[in-house]
Amino acid sequence: MIDLDFNMEINDPIHGFIGITDIEAKIIDSEPYQRLRRIKQLSGGHFVYPTAEHTRFAHCIGVMHVAGLLGQKLLGKLRLGSEVLQDVRIAGLLHDIGHGPFSHVFEEALIEKRGMNHEDVTEWIILQSELGDILTDQGVSKKRIADLVRGRRKY
């Protein structure tokens, strides 16, 4: 079993208490990540379904948790350690960081005007914003995390 040092918990309505490491807490507390509190997971679905209030913020924390559970099982069998598990969790946490308001509707305009999709924006945010500084300061390669999020990295 691969262990990480969890120093706080977030109570998730689906998964219960989710352990959070120091670096994950720093990422969650950052401005780029906090922005996800204002972006609905289901775009404008809450206008038709009033209880569809799910945010990218909560979704990404859940993805981080599930990625960590899967990572513990798979990475342990591959004899990969806690550093790789932490990278997998961070990639799950940041996988939607490039989404804008109204999600994929916004993306159509982004592609038309800038030739970029939300994955391109995600990579840019990881590499160029304070998130990259947080990763670097904690000894984590921002390039490796961007590659994992984009599906370009193999261990």
Residues marked active site are found at: 118
- The CA distance from 51 to 96, in Å, is 21
- The CA distance from 107 to 100, in Å, is 7
Tell me the three state secondary structure of residue 150.
helix
The total of other beta-carbon atoms located within 10 Å of residue 27's CB is 27
At residue 104, φ and ψ (nearest 5 deg) are: -75, -20
The total of other beta-carbon atoms located within 10 Å of residue 130's CB is 15
CB 21 within 8 A of CB 7: yes
